[in-house]
Structures are given as structure tokens and as C-alpha cells.
């Protein structure tokens, strides 16, 4: 029976203060990384559940208040339009009351019924200054051209590299990946692994230790 990710605080946390001195110690740190990722996922899942619960509670609690808010706003607006002449007769567009103000203000906004048709009309009538065009560097296309190995784009790649602001930076980046928590914290696979070249000290049949020994055997 495979055991899932260990609960947070279930086991004492190992502390690795120095750099690893052998592949076994590297494997121990990979195992710890797997545990950390698993437990961090549990924390995020727990947080998301709490957020969902609080969001639902807030929505339910505020639904009635928002409905009342909308009703009051509509009542006040209807009253204002019904008595707008009284406001305008006093040479004003707004009314100030002890608990707030209300009124109307003029605004103008541009309505574009069909953007594509409007763009063509503006261009055809010499009004290009009212058309805005966005231009940006296609980084992925340039990278692909510079990495083209079949020779068809070598001339263009050389031309691109003629730009003093463009260059292809080469670097070697470290990466790692950890096995799923079920494999780290559970039982190792049932199939046999090649025997290690060097005899290793047994570790009380601990599943994690058994997996580490299997990995070391493959490295050797």
C-alpha cells in the first residue's frame, strides 16, 4: 500500500547545512525537495479551500446588502429626475443634502459601431494620423532564425546579428526534478534493481533509503 504525502509536522525535518559530499547526499536532498513540494502543495490547497469558503460566505452576506443598495440608488435617481426642474430653477445641476450630494453631469464618449470599417475609411480619406499601430520585436522569430541549423536562414541570421542591440546569449542552466511524493515517501517499486558495485550499509529497511541505494547503483 503506497502512502501519500506526509502531513505537515508529521516527521522531524532534516536540515542540510553544507553542500553534498556524495551522490547519496544529493539524493537525500532530492527526497527532501520532493517532500517540500508535496507539503507546499498541501498548504496551497488548504489556502484555496479557505479562500473559497470565505468568498462564498462573503458573497452570501453581501448579496442582500447589494440588492438594497441598488434599490435605494434607483429610488433616489427616480426622485431626482421627477424633481429635476426644481433643481435647474435654482440655477444648479446638483443638490447637497446633510448626508450626501446628487445630480447629473454631461459627458461625451466616442461610439465606434464597426472598428474595421472605420479604420479603412480613415485610411482612405487621408486620416492615418488617427490610426494607431503598435510595433514590437518578435523575439521568438528572431531566436528561431538565429538557431536555424539547416542553412536556409544563415544569411538572414548574419544580417540580424548585424544589429548592435541583438545577440544570441548562450548559457548552461542547472535543472532538477523530483519524483512524485508517492515514490519518495511510499514503498519503492517491486522490480529488482541492479546490485550496487560497492556494498552499502543497510538502513533498517527504510523505503526512502532503499530508493536512494537503487539510484546510487544506477549512477555507479
- In tens, the pLDDT along 66-86 reads 999 999 999 999 999 999 999
Residue whose C-alpha is closest to residue 37's, from 6, 3, 2: 6
Answer whether residue 2 is part of any domain: no
- The pLDDT score that the predictor gives to residue 190 is 44
Answer whether residue 122 is part of any domain: yes
- The pLDDT score that the predictor gives to residue 96 is 92
- Identify whether the C-beta of residue 32 lies closer than 8 Å to the C-beta of residue 26: no
Answer whether residue 74 is part of any domain: yes
- The pLDDT score that the predictor gives to residue 2 is 42
Answer whether residue 10 is part of any domain: no
Answer positive or negative: Cα dihedral of 115, 121, 124, 127.
negative
- Identify whether the C-beta of residue 76 lies closer than 8 Å to the C-beta of residue 102: yes
- The pLDDT score that the predictor gives to residue 3 is 41
Answer whether residue 36 is part of any domain: yes
Answer whether residue 160 is part of any domain: no
Q: How many domains are contained in the chain?
A: 1
Beta strand residue intervals within 3-134, DSSP E: 94-97, 100-103
Question: What is d(CA 87, CA 202) in angstroms, rounded to the nearest whole number?
Answer: 92
Answer whether residue 33 is part of any domain: yes
Write down the pTM of the prediction: 0.44
Answer whether residue 207 is part of any domain: no
Segments of the chain with pLDDT less than 50: 1-3, 187-206, 208-209, 212, 215-217, 219-220
Domain boundaries, position 119: 23-136+172-186
- The pLDDT score that the predictor gives to residue 109 is 87
Amino acid at each position: 500500500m503506497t502512502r501519500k504525502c506526509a502531513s505537515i509536522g508529521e516527521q522531524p525535518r532534516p536540515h542540510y547545512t553544507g553542500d553534498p559530499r556524495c551522490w547519496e547526499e544529493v539524493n537525500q536532498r532530492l527526497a527532501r525537495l520532493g517532500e517540500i513540494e508535496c507539503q507546499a502543495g498541501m498548504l496551497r490547497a488548504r489556502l484555496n479551500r479557505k479562500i473559497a469558503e470565505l468568498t462564498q460566505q462573503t458573497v452570501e452576506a453581501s448579496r442582500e446588502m447589494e440588492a438594497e443598495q441598488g434599490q435605494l440608488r434607483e429610488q433616489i435617481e427616480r426622485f431626482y429626475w421627477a424633481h429635476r426642474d426644481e433643481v435647474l430653477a435654482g440655477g444648479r445641476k446638483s443638490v447637497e443634502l446633510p448626508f450626501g450630494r446628487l445630480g447629473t453631469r454631461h459627458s461625451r464618449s466616442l461610439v465606434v459601431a464597426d472598428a474595421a470599417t472605420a479604420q479603412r475609411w480613415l485610411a482612405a480619406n487621408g486620416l492615418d494620423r488617427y490610426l494607431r499601430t503598435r510595433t514590437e520585436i518578435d523575439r521568438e522569430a528572431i531566436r528561431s532564425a538565429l538557431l536555424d541549423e539547416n542553412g536556409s536562414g544563415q544569411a538572414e541570421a548574419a544580417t540580424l546579428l548585424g544589429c548592435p542591440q541583438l545577440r544570441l546569449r548562450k548559457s548552461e542552466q542547472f535543472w532538477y526534478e523530483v519524483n512524485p511524493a508517492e515514490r519518495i515517501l511510499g514503498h519503492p517499486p517491486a522490480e529488482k534493481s541492479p546490485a550496487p558495485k560497492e556494498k552499502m550499509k543497510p538502513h533498517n529497511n527504510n523505503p526512502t533509503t532503499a530508493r536512494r541505494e537503487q539510484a546510487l547503483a544506477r549512477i555507479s
